[in-house]
Amino acid sequence: MKNGLFHSACILTILLTCSASAAQRPNIVLVMADDMGWGQTGYYNHPVLKTPHLDAMAQSGLRLDRFYAGAPVCSPTRASVLTGRSNMRTGVDSHGYALRRQEKTIVNALKNAGYATGHFGKWHLNGMRGPGVPMFSHDTHHPGVFGFGQWLSVTNFFDRNPIMSRQGKFVEFKGDSSEIIVDQALDFIGAQAANQKPSFTVIWYGTPHSPWMAADADKKVFANLDTASQDHYGELVAMDRSIGTLRKGLRDLKIADNTLVWFCSDNGGLPKITPETVGGLRGFKGSLYEGGLRVPAIIEWPAGIDKPRKTEFPACTMDIFPTIAQVVGLPRSVMLQPQDGTSLSELFQRETGTRKQPIPFSCFGNTALLDNHYKLLQVGKRRDRGTRNFELYHLGEDPRETTNLMQQRPEIAKRMQAAMQAWNRSMEESVAGKDYPEGKVNAGEPQPRFWMTVKAYEPYFEAWKERPEYRSRLKPKRKVK
C-alpha cells in the first residue's frame, strides 16, 4: 500500500512539473556563426582573438567542447538544425541546395505550439548560390515557407551595410551585419515578451565568411596580420560584441532567466587565415576531419542549466530539434523519422555517460560515423569518381587524427563499417523520399543556381554592381578577341 501511494505521488509530481513547464516554456534563440572555427574563442586561449562575451556565456552555461556541425559546409548544417536529420535526408547535398518542403521543421513545430517565430540573417536553404541577396516574397523556399512568421533574411553570406529582405521587401542597412541582425532580433523578441508570448528566434550571422569587411576600430588590434586575417578577426570582434548586446538585451527585457540561447558555428574554420582557425585539429571547412566539423558551442539557460560547466559529450546540430522538442514538451510526431539527433536535455544537469546513437556525416560523396571516441571515415575522391578509403581514429588518444587504426583494431573497424553501411541504406531511402507520406520526393524542388542567372534579379544589377560584395559577380565580361 505504501509503495502504491509512493508511486501515485511520484506520478502526480511529474504531471505537476510538466504542467508548470508547459506554462513557463522558455524563449529560444539559436545563434550560428558562419565559418567560425573550433579554435576561434578566447576560452580556448586563441593567441590574438579575444571573445569576452562568448567567454562570459560559456562561464554561465553549458560549454560543449565536442560539438559538431551537421556537415562541413553551410547549407547542409542549416538543414540539420531545422530538421534534426542528416543533410542528405533532406535534399541538401551541399551548399546552395534547397531544403525540401516535405521536411518537418522545428520552426513549424514551435509555431504550432504557440511560439512566435522569427529568422534574422543568412538563410541559404532556397537553392540560391552567390553572395547573399534579399529574397522575394514569391520565392518558393523563403523562411516563411518553413514556418517563420517574421523574417529579415538574405540568401547567403552578407557583410557590412547589407541589403536584406523583410518578408519580401528589400531594406538597406548601415553598419556591421552581426550587430544589425541582433538589434532587429531583439526588437522582435521584445515585442513578443510585451505580449507575454514565447518566441523562437534564429540569428544566423554572415560572419566570418568572406569577403571580410571589418570596421577599422575592430581590426586595428590585428595590424600585424595580413590584410585578409585582419578583417576576418575584426569581423569576429564585432560578432562577439553583438553576443554581448543580445545577452544584455534579454536581461533588460527581464526574460534572460527563461531564455535558452544556443550558440554554434555552421562548419569548421577556414584555411589561409593567420593565426589558424581550428585549434590544431586536422582539416578545415569542407573536410570530414575534425577541423571541418568540430565547432565552438555553448548553451545558456539560467532556469534550466543552474550549474555552469563544460562537457566532452559528443553532440551535434542534429541534436538541437530533439532537445528543444523535449524541453518544450512536444510529441515525437513533430519530428520526421528517422532522426539522426538525440535530446541533450538530461545533459543540462549532469553527465550522462556515453552517447548511445552514433553521429553520421555525409557530404561531397564522403561519409563519417562518430561513435563516442571512435570515428570511422570513408573518404577520398568525390562520388562516382574513384574508390574511397576507410580510416579509423580514436579521438581521445589522437584528436588530430594522425594514426589510422583500421589494421590495429579490426573488430572496432568491422563493427563501425557495418553501422555505416546500415546508415547509408537508411539515408538512401530518405534521399528517394521514402520517409515522406507520399513515399517520394514531390516535384518542384529547385536545383542550385546563381542569383545572377535569375531573371527577377536583373533589374537590380545596375544599382548593385558597385557594391563590394557583388562587384566581382556583376562586372561586364570581357569579350575575347
Distance CA 400, CA 268 (A): 14
φ and ψ at 48, to 5 degrees? Answer: -130, -25
Q: Which CB contacts under 8 angstroms, 24+ apart, belong to 221-227?
A: 221/48, 222/48, 225/48, 225/274, 226/274
Distance CA 376, CA 361 (A): 10
Q: How far apart are the first and last CA of the chain?
A: 97
Contact criterion met (CB below 8 Å) for 390 and 377: yes
Distance CA 72, CA 361 (A): 9
Find, among 212, 168, 206, 172, the residue nearest to 78 by Cα: 206
Active-site choice (46, 53, 74, 209): 74
124 has catalytic annotation: yes
Active-site choice (53, 95, 119, 124): 124
Distance CA 328, CA 339 (A): 18
DSSP result, 301-329 = -TTT--S-EEE---EEGGGHHHHHHHHHT
Burial of 240 (0-12, 13-18, 19+ CB in 10 A): buried
Enter the C-alpha cell of residue 76: 547542409
74 has catalytic annotation: yes
Query: What is the maximum span of the chain, computed from C-alpha positions, in angstroms?
Result: 97
Residues with catalytic roles: 74, 124
